[in-house]
């Protein structure tokens, strides 16, 4: 989370920060290409598409990861909750931006074995290592298995969850071969 925060939310003039990298490219271009470059960046609009998530990341970094602020209220914590799907969205937006900053040259963002361009043999698990690890952690989690382990507790817990959270739980349950809870 600290690395993500540094990459996308920091404002220092550092080449390893995506905004600085983008600005250095723009500032180094010949004047006749700058307008086209700006228009290309506007098509993606990385800032607009990720602003809310960047704010969440910055808040979470400041409240819980870097500074461990103790008296953050429940709403503030909920508003800075970052879901895995949020990180996937950010990854996709960063890849799109990097593609634009690469001026049409192809960049392989993952090891070749993880690329969606590679056709894996039938029966081969083509998920990335991190997907396998996260799935395993999820499959063993109390929450995913609570409906079977303790139906009464599940019903009480489910009432406190938002609909999107229940949908996310059911998505992982389906991956595990379990019915919707």
The tokens for 144 are 């995913």
Q: Which residues contact 152 (CB under 8 A, 6 or more apart)?
A: none
Q: Are 4 and 87 in contact (CB under 8 A)?
A: yes
Q: What is the pTM of this model?
A: 0.56
SS3 content of the chain, % helix, strand, coil (to 5): 70, 0, 30
Q: What is the pLDDT along the chain (181 residues), one digit of tens a residue?
A: 667 777 777 766 665 777 888 888 888 888 888 888 888 888 888 888 888 888 888 877 776 665 666 666 677 666 667 788 888 888 888 888 888 888 777 777 667 777 777 888 888 887 878 888 888 888 888 989 999 999 999 999 999 899 989 998 999 899 888 999 8
């Amino acid at each position: 989370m600290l690395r993500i925060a540094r990459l996308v939310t920091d404002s220092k003039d550092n080449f390893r920060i995506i905004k600085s990298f983008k600005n250095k490219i723009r500032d180094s271009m010949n004047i006749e290409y700058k307008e086209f470059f700006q228009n290309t960046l506007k098509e993606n609009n990385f800032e607009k598409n990720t602003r809310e998530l960047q704010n969440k990341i910055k808040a979470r970094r400041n409240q819980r990861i870097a500074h461990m602020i103790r008296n953050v209220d429940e709403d503030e914590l909920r508003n800075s909750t970052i879901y895995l799907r949020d990180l996937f969205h950010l990854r996709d937006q960063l890849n799109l931006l990097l593609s634009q900053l690469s001026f049409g040259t192809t960049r392989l963002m993952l090891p070749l074995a993880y690329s969606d361009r590679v056709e894996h043999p039938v029966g081969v698990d083509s998920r990335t290592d991190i997907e396998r690890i996260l799935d395993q952690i999820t499959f063993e989690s109390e929450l995913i298995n609570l409906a079977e382990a303790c139906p009464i507790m599940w019903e009480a817990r489910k009432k406190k969850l938002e609909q999107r959270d229940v949908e996310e739980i059911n998505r992982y349950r389906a991956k595990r071969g379990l019915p919707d809870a």
